[in-house]
């Protein structure tokens, strides 16, 4: 992989699409191994498909979720507290995988 360029991340889908796919896929696999797969799949398809990763600088990323993420979830019965907990952990995992994929930290899996 070539050196990460923060300016190119502004057009991330043009310059870094395979890396973004890999980070999200790795996060999905990690979460799917640790949490209810039906819930993880629903979060992935109904909430995170509309999320947007941003590079914050100093090797840090931020994942912006769509508004009212809980309202987007259909077909899965889950309490709000559990959804929030799993969603927060999932976003942390995506953030971690982005740092790994872009070479800011080593994988600890």
Q: Which residues contact 6 (CB under 8 A, 6 or more apart)?
A: 55, 57
Q: What tens digit of pLDDT does each residue of 32-67 get? A: 999 999 999 999 999 999 999 999 999 999 999 999
Residue 106: its pLDDT value, please? 80
- In terms of C-beta density within 10 A (0-12 exposed, 13-18 middle, 19 or more buried), how is residue 76 classed? middle
Helix (H) or strand (E) holding 89, with range, is: helix 80-101
Residue 2: its pLDDT value, please? 59
Q: What tens digit of pLDDT does each residue of 63-107 get? A: 999 999 999 998 888 888 999 999 999 999 999 999 999 999 886
Provide, rounded to the nearest whole percent, the portion of the chain with pLDDT above 90: 85
Does residue 11 carry a pLDDT above 60?
yes
DSSP-assigned letters across all residues of 30-71: HHHHHS-HHHHHHHHHHTGGG-EEEEEETTEEEEEPPSSHHH
CA dist., res. 36 & res. 104, Å (int): 29
């Amino acid at each position: 992989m070539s050196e990460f360029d923060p300016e190119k991340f502004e057009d991330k889908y043009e310059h870094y699409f395979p890396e973004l796919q890999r980070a999200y896929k790795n996060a999905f696999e990690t979460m799917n191994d640790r949490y209810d797969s039906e819930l993880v799949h629903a979060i992935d398809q109904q909430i995170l498909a509309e999320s947007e990763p941003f590079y914050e600088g100093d090797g840090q990323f931020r994942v912006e979720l769509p508004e009212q993420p809980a309202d987007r979830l259909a077909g899965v019965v889950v309490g709000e507290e559990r959804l929030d907990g799993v969603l927060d952990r999932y976003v942390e995992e995506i953030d971690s995988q982005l740092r790994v994929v872009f070479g800011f930290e080593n994988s600890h899996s």
